[in-house]
Every structure is written in structure tokens, then in C-alpha cells.
Amino acid sequence: MGRLILFWMNRQPDDNIPTTAWIDYQNAMAFVLLVVLVLFTGLILVAYRQSAQAKLIRYPSDLFGRYTPLYWLAVSVVPIAILFGLAWYDYGKRFQEFTQTSYTGGAAVIGVWAGFLTLVLASAILPVLTPPKFRYRTWRALIRW
């Protein structure tokens, strides 16, 4: 599973690291990535849905104001920090007797990948959850009856 999801990590950063240990690390990070991705995407979608339904239209200008439920997409930064910290810590813990090389760059890539996937997945599902009163339906305005 790890070789498919974390494809850029197929080659270990140091030849002193045993291949089986590297594959175990890769599989563990792929599993954590999937768990964090599902967890935070679900959190963003639930929070967005509740905020979108609570938003009211009191004045006509409210339709063209800021759509504040989209601020929940900023939560996709949290998986970056979680995966970066976990990958960096776990690398140092597992391979300290095999290598002295740093894995800060690789851990950062794992974190950015997690944040990017969370943002893309949540953004793809958000239009389905947007209440009809806030959806743009411009094609209806173009059809003259």
C-alpha cells in the first residue's frame, strides 16, 4: 500500500537502512496519511455543512457578501503539521541506529501531500453540500421563456 500512495519514497534515503524496515515505515506513513485524510476531510465537510445551513439571508446584499463557511477549508493546514511531525519523529525513532541523515525534506513532502489531498477532496465535495440558496445558477438567467 505504501509504495502506491507514497510513490516518491520507493527508494530509501540511506543505503544503511534495511529494505524491510523502510517498507514498514512507508506502509505506516501511508496508513496514517489515509486516516488523517479521511478524518480531516470529514471534519471539514461536517463543519462546512453546519456553517452553510446556519448562514441566513437577511438582506439582498448578503447574497454577494463573503461566504464564510468556506473558511473551513483552512483546516486542511492541520494535516500538514500532523504528518510532518509524525514522519519526522518516526524516522528518527526507527532509524537512529542505521543512519545519521536528516529526513526533514521527506517529512515535509508527506505533510504537504496530506494537506493538498485534504483540500482537493473537501473542495470536490463542497458543491454538493452547499445549500440551494447560495448556489449560482447562471444558466437559468440565460434562458428566456
- pLDDT per residue rounded down to tens, the chain (145 residues): 777 887 877 887 778 888 888 889 889 999 999 999 999 999 999 998 888 888 877 777 776 777 788 888 888 889 989 988 888 888 888 888 887 777 777 788 888 888 888 888 888 888 888 777 776 655 655 565 5
Number of domains in the chain: 1
Burial of 108 per CB tally in 10 Å (0-12, 13-18, 19+): middle
Instruction: For residue 78, give its domain range.
Output: 2-142
Q: Residue 67's closest CA among 55, 76, 50, 77?
A: 55
| Element (DSSP H or E) covering residue 55 | none
The sign of the torsion formed by the CA atoms of 27, 6, 122, 116 equals positive
pTM, two decimals, is 0.77
pLDDT score of 145: 55
